[in-house]
Structure 1
Amino acid sequence: MAPLWGSSWSSTWGSLSGYRAVQNSEQNTIPGSATDSSHLKPSIGQILSSKRVRYATFSLAAVGIFLLGFRNYDRLPSIESLRSGGAAAVAGANSNCPPAVVPAFEDAQVNWSQFAYTQYVTNAAYLCNSVMIFETLSRLGSKADRVMMYPENMMDAGETNPTSEEARLLAKARDEYKVKLVPVEIKRRAGGDATWAESFTKLLAFNQTQYTRVLNVDSDSTILQTMDELFLMPPCPVAMPRAYWLFPDNKILSSQLMLVQPSAVEFSRIMEKMESAGRNDYDMEIVNQLYADSAMILPHRPYDLLTGEFRGDNHQNYLGTDQEEWDPVAIYNEAKFLHFSDWPVPKPWIPMTDSMRQDKQPKCETKNGQEDCSARELWNGFYNDFTERRARVCNAGRKARR
């Protein structure tokens, strides 16, 4: 193909602009052409108003948009996500989430029914833990909905005369704590352990598209204060705190608390990652693979405190500075979410021997010449309170250890 040059370029431009080059013989017939040829050249306005130029511009723009969409097809909002809310769809396509700042609000002006705390259940032990979480939310006066995802074989969601212990607890959550029960099929991976099934069920929070936002908290935890304000954070597909006990060497997200904007787009990405996950990839690995660099970072203080922090000697990672003095009472009073993570101390529903308690409980300190055992008292209180509430809420018969 010959290069577009000389007369070829003139004729090509003329075909695009709607004007053709004037030949020499025609120039001689136009008065004044020797001294003024401006009337032979189309103006910018004439060129831009030409239909052929407009068509060519629109065509190029359409091709550019198509190529851009093709390269980012996995981030485009689906029809379902657009129907469920424009803000959520836009946030899902944008990896640059704004800072985690709670805006000023008045309870009466917030439609709390569009938000929900979610829990997942895979066995009887975690069922009790989840019911305890919802009992706390009810007692604290949380305004958002409460949703429990549980194995469909435990009970029919509309059961009115439960007979099994699991069904009794599910009915209690529904009737006393206003929990919406969502039966789900617990999926299991060939050759995998129960942890994979738990991880899968936990990530179903991304599929609760009847809500604008859901807050999923691990049930091996205690909610100390309501966290309704988190639902009003700026839009972002997912928000989580950092695993502060690994920071700053590893900037890993903690999945113990996840603020999620459910959408078909994000759930599809979650499912794809679950299907291709390695044998040792669970919920925490999956959310980090997808959102490590794009999630909104919630402050771990006060939203993700570990019980093991009260047994530690160095609190700089939690405090965020080496200039602040560790005050266990002040930290407890400001904390809203406490996670039982205390290796080698067992989870709070598993019996702890007296010898282990004596050996692992926090040490008393000497401050201003006086013995301070506040960290020890708080730590023991966490485990005693969990045991007592478990007996009260779930009728668990194990006597609280002092």
Structure 2
Amino acid sequence: MLIWKRKFRLVLFVALGVAIVSCFVRAVVQFQLNKEIKYFKRYFEQKKEHLEALYNPLAIKQIPEETIDLMYNLRLAGKKGPIDWSSYAYVNYATDANYLCNTLIMFDALRKFGTKAKLLLLISRELVESEGSPDSQQVNKMLDQMKRDGGGQVVIKYVDNIVKPADSSQWSQSMTKLLVFNQTEYERVIFLDNDATLNDKLDELFFIPDYIQFAAPVSYWFLSEGDLAEAYREVRDYEKLPVNLARYTDKLHDRIKKGKMIYNHLPSLPPNLYLNTENVAQDLIRSKFSLASLFDHHASDKSTKVKLASYVMVIKPSAEAFSSIMKSSVPIFLKKKGKYDGDVINDDLFNLRKVLHTQFKTFRRLRSHFVPSVLVLPYARYGLLTGSIRDESQHVLLRNDVLGCQRLDTSGKEIEKDIAAITRNAKYVHFSDYPLAKPWQYQSVDEIKCKVDETHSKDIDSGKKLCHLWNDLYSTYLNSRGLCTA
């Protein structure tokens, strides 16, 4: 017994010693790393006018719609020669008849809006080959119609579903969308979840900076008006940067026209929305999920307020990246209860803290050879939720969809933009109105029609306008489903 007690004390002392040494080493590393971070943040802000081959690794950058449009218009002008549209594709995936109908509607809309890019459907092999299924005849009719109407523009690939075992939820096959990363015959693809409606083509997204491997809007609906105000303070008072978006776009457009690098001049995602800005080094170290985190009881204190959405993704397909996803990420997340495609994107592949850590680690090792790969798209234009149209508390989030920035007039006042204008400007509108089901579950908009409670409403006229916008989106979509039974 005495020997056992001595061994226990020895193990305890060793463990305590390891913990103390680990904490001490980590504190020293954090101190040095914070000094280095402050130096490089100051360096890139002061020198960015003259940096043409050195990218800032200490920021996640956002690209305004005005900048996207200018890059696209200059590309259309043909200075780099004609565009080979066969190198670009919009991608949908379908694992059941309802989602196949959505793709038929979406591809039809894209063709009518005038895109010349390929329209790629990844369809479940099981869905097509289930001849005894009650949907079999309709599925084949829709595929025939898609081929006939789309001609050579439509490409159909039969794929095996990635199925989450022992999961009966509607998202059990959602990881199938990760196959989009393997469409390597295309230079760049735009993946679109098809439970949505389009107001225009999104061709301009094919021509965001060439070095970007992945771009997506953020999940803005988790933010509050207070978070927005905090983001403005972070940019203005802590980062010492302008909040007027025009200050960025004017400079960006001048550099684009001169053929200069724009990355360092793009507005940054406010760090307080995904980092502990009082100790960036601590967050970067923590993002490695190292042994040191076992001794850090604050590790889960701060949750990320914004994450990347997975319903619109601009991707440069890569066989190497896809292989890593299938070997490392998918097997782990298939075993995790309640984790789906969005979790693979946000918890693993493009976790914003991990992205920043990887950027800085790569920069420290390679310096001028570091090239960023992730970009944030404006969410009101490329990720509007139908639920946000009815929810007036979210309208303030939609007026300025480059976080930390505002569109101001010459007098410094915010440019007013009502929800009708925001909805018209949205190119992609995602059907999301929990607890309502997806729209194809209803026969008519009358079943779910938005109506103003005139007894309790503070502004009846405003409420009626919101309901009209919302009802019109649903009514238009439900009418378009007639295309699937033509």
Same fold by TM-score, threshold 0.5 exceeded? yes
Residue 152 of structure 1 is aligned with which of 117, 125, 131? 125
Measured in 1, the distance between the counterparts of 2:84 and 2:453 equals 44
Checking the alignment, whether the CA contact within 8 Å between 2:62 and 2:378 is kept in structure 1 is no
TM-score, normalised by the number of residues in structure 2:
0.56
Measured in 1, the distance between the counterparts of 2:450 and 2:436 equals 11
Alignment of 1:36-47 (within 5 A): none
Residues 345 and 326 of structure 1: CA distance in aligned 2, closer, same or farther (over 3 Å): farther
Measured in 2, the distance between the counterparts of 1:258 and 1:220 equals 14
**Paired-residue identity, %:** 30
Matched with 1:208 is 183
Matched with 2:87 is 114
**1:300 maps to 2:379:** yes
Select the structure of larger CA radius of gyration. 1
Residues 240 and 371 of structure 1: CA distance in aligned 2, closer, same or farther (over 3 Å): closer
Residue 129 of structure 1 is aligned with which of 102, 107, 115? 102
What SS class does the counterpart of residue 75 from structure 2 fall into?
coil
Measured in 2, the distance between the counterparts of 1:189 and 1:144 equals 32
Checking the alignment, whether the CA contact within 8 Å between 2:214 and 2:315 is kept in structure 1 is yes
Matched with 1:28 is none
Amino acid paired to 1:123: D
Residue 345 of structure 2 is aligned with which of 256, 268, 287? 287
Residues 308 and 284 of structure 1: CA distance in aligned 2, closer, same or farther (over 3 Å): same
Measured in 1, the distance between the counterparts of 2:342 and 2:156 equals 25
Checking the alignment, whether the CA contact within 8 Å between 2:452 and 2:467 is kept in structure 1 is no
Cα offset, 1:360, TM superposition? 7.5
Matched with 1:318 is 398
1:341-368 deviations in Å (ceiling 9; x for gaps): 111222111117846425589998859x
Measured in 2, the distance between the counterparts of 1:118 and 1:107 equals 26
Residue 347 of structure 1 is aligned with which of 413, 416, 438? 438
Amino acid paired to 1:275: P
Cα offset, 1:153, TM superposition? 3.6
Measured in 2, the distance between the counterparts of 1:360 and 1:116 equals 41
**1:105 maps to 2:75:** yes
Alignment of 1:232-251 (within 5 A): 232-234=207-209, 235-247=211-223, 248=227, 250-251=305-306
What SS class does the counterpart of residue 147 from structure 2 fall into?
helix
Amino acid paired to 2:222: L
Residues 130 and 172 of structure 1: CA distance in aligned 2, closer, same or farther (over 3 Å): same
Residues 327 and 166 of structure 1: CA distance in aligned 2, closer, same or farther (over 3 Å): same
Amino acid paired to 1:380: N
Measured in 2, the distance between the counterparts of 1:353 and 1:211 equals 39
Moved more, 167-176 or 246-255: 246-255
Gaps of 5+ in 2: 1-56, 130-134, 228-272, 274-304, 356-373, 401-405, 407-412
Checking the alignment, whether the CA contact within 8 Å between 2:93 and 2:177 is kept in structure 1 is yes
Measured in 1, the distance between the counterparts of 2:316 and 2:169 equals 26
Residue 322 of structure 2 is aligned with which of 263, 267, 272? 267
1:88-145 deviations in Å (ceiling 9; x for gaps): xxxxxx9987653432211662211111000001111111111111111111111211
Alignment of 1:1-400 (within 5 A): 100=63, 101-102=67-68, 103=71, 104-106=74-76, 109-155=82-128, 164-177=137-150, 178-193=153-168, 195=170, 197-234=172-209, 235-247=211-223, 248=227, 250-271=305-326, 272-277=328-333, 278-289=336-347, 290-293=349-352, 294=355, 295-314=374-393, 315-320=395-400, 323=414, 325=416, 327-351=418-442, 354=446, 356-359=448-451, 373-391=464-482, 393-395=483-485
Residues 99 and 318 of structure 1: CA distance in aligned 2, closer, same or farther (over 3 Å): closer
Residues 245 and 198 of structure 1: CA distance in aligned 2, closer, same or farther (over 3 Å): same
Matched with 1:31 is none
Cα offset, 1:259, TM superposition? 0.6
Amino acid paired to 2:205: L
Give 1 or 2: higher helix fraction: 2
Cα offset, 1:175, TM superposition? 1.8
Gaps of 5+ in 1: 1-93, 157-161, 397-402
Measured in 2, the distance between the counterparts of 1:97 and 1:266 equals 20
Structure 1 ranges of 4+ moved more than 6 A:
94-98, 360-365
Amino acid paired to 1:236: I
Checking the alignment, whether the CA contact within 8 Å between 1:237 and 1:261 is kept in structure 2 is yes
Checking the alignment, whether the CA contact within 8 Å between 1:206 and 1:261 is kept in structure 2 is yes
Measured in 1, the distance between the counterparts of 2:61 and 2:448 equals 45
Checking the alignment, whether the CA contact within 8 Å between 1:121 and 1:148 is kept in structure 2 is yes
What SS class does the counterpart of residue 330 from structure 1 fall into?
helix
Measured in 2, the distance between the counterparts of 1:145 and 1:347 equals 27
Count of aligned residue pairs for this structure pair? 295
What SS class does the counterpart of residue 122 from structure 2 fall into?
strand
Measured in 2, the distance between the counterparts of 1:267 and 1:385 equals 37
Checking the alignment, whether the CA contact within 8 Å between 1:241 and 1:297 is kept in structure 2 is yes
Measured in 2, the distance between the counterparts of 1:222 and 1:126 equals 13
Matched with 1:57 is none
Matched with 1:34 is none
Matched with 1:74 is none
1:320-345 deviations in Å (ceiling 9; x for gaps): 36945451221122111100111122
Residues 194 and 152 of structure 1: CA distance in aligned 2, closer, same or farther (over 3 Å): farther
Measured in 1, the distance between the counterparts of 2:465 and 2:307 equals 30
